[in-house]
Amino acid sequence: MSEIVAIYSRLSEEDRDKLNEEDESRSIQNQKSLLISYATSHKWEIYQIYSDDDYKGSDRNRPAFNQLLKDAENHKFNIVLCKSQSRFTRELELVEKIIHGDFAEWGIRFVGLADNADTANKGNKKSRQINGLVNEWYLEDLSDNIKTVLTDHRMKGLHIGSFALYGYMKDPDQKGHLIIDPEAAEVVKEVFELYAAGVGRTNIARILNDRGIPNPTEYKRRKGLRYGGTSKAYGTLWKYYSISSMLENEMYIGNMIQGKYENPTYKSKHGRPVPKERWIRVEGTHEPIIDRELWERVQKRRAEKAKPMCTGELGIFAAKTKCMYCGYTLRSCTSNGFKYLKCPTRYAAESSCKGVFLAQRFLEQAVLVELNHIISSYFDEASAESQILLVKKREDEKRMIKQEIAAYDSKIENLKKALQSLYVDKANGEISNEEYAEFRANFTQQVEQLVRQREDKKSRLELWENENQKTRSKEKIMQKYRNIEKLDRDIMETLIDHIEVGRSEHKIHRADLPPIVIHWRF
């Protein structure tokens, strides 16, 4: 294979210099010019220039970066050229996985000019690993510095969130400051006034839905504002918990409340909740929507309505049951000593859902019956004799695939040795340069074909291992929960992803079950 190079450039956080948002930064332009010049001087054919502008070196979702990896796996080129290893990635984990792992397996050489990184030079692998470690330290220090700055901003009462709370907008003239969104603020005021007047949270949601007022997520989507989550995930209707969350939020009386979540490490993508006593609270940072007198009346009523938890235990079906018609999670309730599950949408907007309502004991019985039936059927089919035959068949398949992979490895190695022998013959003058080039092209083509066939076999082996692991895991689960008599939370978490429940055509005290679809984890 001739030397075909992929050039990769990335803008670092500290050297943005674009005149307009649409422009490409001079840093990127300079990188490209340097790398093109280097590739040309080495007579490398440039396959493509991949460029990520405004992306961090620790961002794994860089579009050009991921396209380069995809093309590399498909053997579109055999060299990756960057200004430095850190422009490619700052994560030591990716240095090992991609540069020292995937690239080596795909036969791709990595070259970084500024830091003299070159995988063709076996002697500087330790140097590349040290560079990766230094970059890892850089990311960690950068993360700590950013956290310090953000904490300082929070302590000063500056808003640093990605989007403003419903009822407010980001001030275009003052960074970190919130201003009132008049249209949404009127809805917030009405919610507080209705609750203070004695209207319940579910009824407030129903009033807003009947009038066609979109919930906060849908409102921001329609206005073209930034918001958390998606309208598809949260729907367009107001719910009990939306009202409840609003009524307890001090942001509406002008206090800035931040720091409710934190990332355990700089690599974490999902934050974890922070205890309330550690939240950062700064008073009087923005104009209030709700005055103190109304706020106090609402908080007093909330305190009077609050019910202590009977136990700290999580219900068996908590967050596991969904309405078959609107997709919302069912809420639990108690009546005459019995537990029921019901869809909140029915009460928030009567016309939007049929209204699921089911006694929990009936659902427990249905899940238990189906689970025992599945397990019983599994062990009937998986008799001892058939299991022995199945295991033997799988082991034979695995052995055959490994033998095929070994055969491909042997053929590839023989072709490489033959090519080396040809090179010696050319050096000794026994064959001409033209003959050597023809032989080399033929051998290279054969090697590439064998490598592709070998990788297909490796993929089959990996798939076999995954399927085998799933089978063993399923068998352990079936054995553990064989002949169970009662459901508990552990069973629900282990075996069930979620349950869809429909509406029964009969009254709830009858044992005629509504439509139920159980989505198992195995």
Domains of the chain by residue range: 4-146, 168-305, 321-370+487-520, 381-480
Question: Is 4:48 a contact under the CB 8 Å cutoff?
Answer: no
Residues contacting 404, CB < 8 A, separation 6+: 457
- Please list the residues that pair with 329 across neighbouring strands: 322
Indicate if the pLDDT at residue 191 is higher than 90. yes
- What pLDDT is stored for residue 232 in this prediction? 47
Q: Residue 13 and residue 272: Cα distance in Å, rounded?
A: 26
What are the pLDDT digits (tens) for 419-445? 777 777 777 778 788 877 887 788 778
Q: Residue 182 and residue 168: Cα distance in Å, rounded?
A: 8
What are the pLDDT digits (tens) for 303-341? 876 554 343 445 788 878 888 887 778 888 888 888 888
Indicate if the pLDDT at residue 178 is higher than 60. yes
Indicate if the pLDDT at residue 22 is higher than 60. no
Q: Tokens for 97, please give them.
A: 């996985």
Least-confidence region, from 95-99, 263-267, 492-496: 263-267
Who wins on pLDDT, 438 or 391? 438
How far apart, in Å, are the Cα atoms of 459 and each of 34, 397, 402, 462? 38, 14, 11, 5
Give pairs for 407-411: CB < 8 Å, separation 24+.
Answer: 408/450, 408/451, 408/453, 408/454, 408/457, 409/454, 411/450
Indicate if the pLDDT at residue 509 is higher than 50. no
Question: Is 174:230 a contact under the CB 8 Å cutoff?
Answer: no
pLDDT above 90 as % of the chain: 18
Least-confidence region, from 10-19, 55-64, 189-198, 332-341: 10-19
Mean pLDDT of 284-299: 93
- What pLDDT is stored for residue 312 in this prediction? 41
Pick the closest to residue 370 from 505, 488, 516 (CA basis).
516
DSSP H or E segment with residue 174: none
Pick the closest to residue 453 from 399, 398, 409 (CA basis).
409
Least-confidence region, from 86-95, 96-105, 302-311: 302-311
Q: Tokens for 300, please give them.
A: 């007093």
Who wins on pLDDT, 385 or 106? 106
Q: What is the CA radius of gyration of the chain?
A: 32
Enter the CATH code of domain 4-146: 3.40.50.1390
- What pLDDT is stored for residue 286 in this prediction? 93
Max Cα distance, the chain (Å):
102
List strand residue ranges (DSSP E) for 18-147, in order: 45-52, 79-82, 109-112, 117-118
How many degrees, rounded to 5, is the angle at CA 330 between CA 325 and CA 335?
120
Strand, coil or helix: 341: strand
- What pLDDT is stored for residue 477 in this prediction? 75
Question: Is 290:252 a contact under the CB 8 Å cutoff?
Answer: yes
Who wins on pLDDT, 148 or 180? 180
Same fold: 4-146 with 168-305: no
Single pTM value for the model: 0.44
Enter the CATH code of domain 168-305: 3.90.1750.20
Q: What is the mean pLDDT of the chain?
A: 78
Q: Tokens for 147, please give them.
A: 């956290």
Amino acid at 434: E
Q: Residue 456 and residue 4: Cα distance in Å, rounded?
A: 24
Indicate if the pLDDT at residue 405 is higher than 70. yes
Q: Residue 279 and residue 220: Cα distance in Å, rounded?
A: 26
The band of 159, judged by pLDDT with boundaries at 50, 70 and 90, is confident
